[in-house]
Homo-oligomer: A and B are copies of this chain.
Amino acid sequence: MSAIGTLFIMSAPSGAGKSSLINALLDSGMENAAVSVSHTTRAPRPGEVNGQHYHFVGQDEFKALIEQGAFFEWAEVFGNYYGTSKQAIEDQLAQGIDVFLDIDWQGALQVKKIMPDAQGIFILPPSREELERRLVGRGQDSAEVIAGRMAEAVSEMSHYNEYDYILVNDDFDTSLAQLSAIVTARRQRKASQIAAHSDMLNDLLAG
């Protein structure tokens, strides 16, 4: 097996259901699919496992990786660094693993510039009312806080047309089937199939 994996860039506003969809896809038993694991300088939270939830590194190491151009993209958020290592993703892709990268539109643009074959998938809520309902969430927040979340969601959503695919997450199972179809279809593309079946193709086409 020498298939080529695909990097799927997944973006969405809060409340669209992105993480649930990615997790459900990976839990569905789909083989050769994994989420990308980011590097961060923040301290692990209880239960977080190094190499699984994040690669936890110190500030000096992180800055050295920046210098080496090791990251697809990186950002500093509240004094902590977060980055996506090119090498880690390329290693997975070379093994024929499809990698899901959960990232906002700015990160997505940077990744797509470096890896034009990456496939962007943007997940939308089915309506403004439903988005509002999901953002109100547990009902503990002020109208102002909710309006702020809504504005942030609208700002993120305004970039939907920079992606290759759009999923409208109305019914969860339907969206999961559509996400799964995108991955399955990608694996049938000529380049993947030629890599996966070169011996068979030689055999079929022998004089």
What is the interface of chain A, defined by CB distance below 8 A to chain B?
121, 124-128, 131, 154, 157-158, 160-161, 163-168, 177-178, 180-182, 184-190, 193-194, 197, 200-201, 203-207
Q: Is the CB of B204 within 8 A of A154?
A: yes
Task: State which of B158, B166, B188, B207 has its C-beta within 8 Å of the C-beta of A165.
Answer: B188
Q: In the complex, A186→B165 CA distance in Å?
A: 9
CB <8 Å contact, B165 and A201: no
B205–A158 touching, CB < 8 Å: yes
Taken together as a complex, chains A and B put the C-alpha atoms of A197 and B205 apart, in Å, by: 45
**In contact, A193 and B205 (Cβ under 8 angstroms):** no
In the bound assembly, the distance between CA atoms of A187 and B77 in angstroms comes to: 37
Could you name 8 residue pairs across A and B whose Cβ atoms are closer than 8 Å? A128-B206, A154-B204, A158-B205, A160-B190, A168-B193, A181-B184, A182-B185, A185-B185
Closest 6 CB pairs of A and B: A185-B185, A181-B184, A166-B193, A181-B181, A182-B185, A181-B185
Find out whether the CB atom of A161 lies under 8 angstroms from the CB atom of B127: no
Complex contact A167–B188 (CB within 8 A): yes
Tell me, in angstroms, the Cα distance from A161 to B194 when the chains sit together.
Answer: 9
Complex Cα spacing A168 to B200, Å: 10
Of all chain B residues, the one with the shortest Cβ separation from A197 is: B168
Q: Which residues of B contact A181 (CB under 8 A)?
A: 180-182, 184-185, 188
Chain B residues contacting A121 (CB-CB under 8 Å) are: 188
Tell whether, in the assembled complex, residue A166 and residue B190 are in contact, meaning their CB atoms are under 8 Å apart.
yes
A125 to chain B, nearest CB (A): 7
A190 contact from B131, B161, B203, B204, Cβ within 8 A = B161
CA distance A126 to B207 in the complex (A): 17
Known interface pairs A165-B188, A166-B188, A177-B184; 17 further A-B residue pairs with C-beta atoms within 8 A, sorted by A's residue number: A126-B200, A154-B206, A154-B207, A161-B194, A164-B189, A164-B190, A165-B190, A165-B193, A166-B189, A168-B193, A168-B197, A178-B184, A181-B182, A181-B185, A182-B185, A182-B188, A184-B185
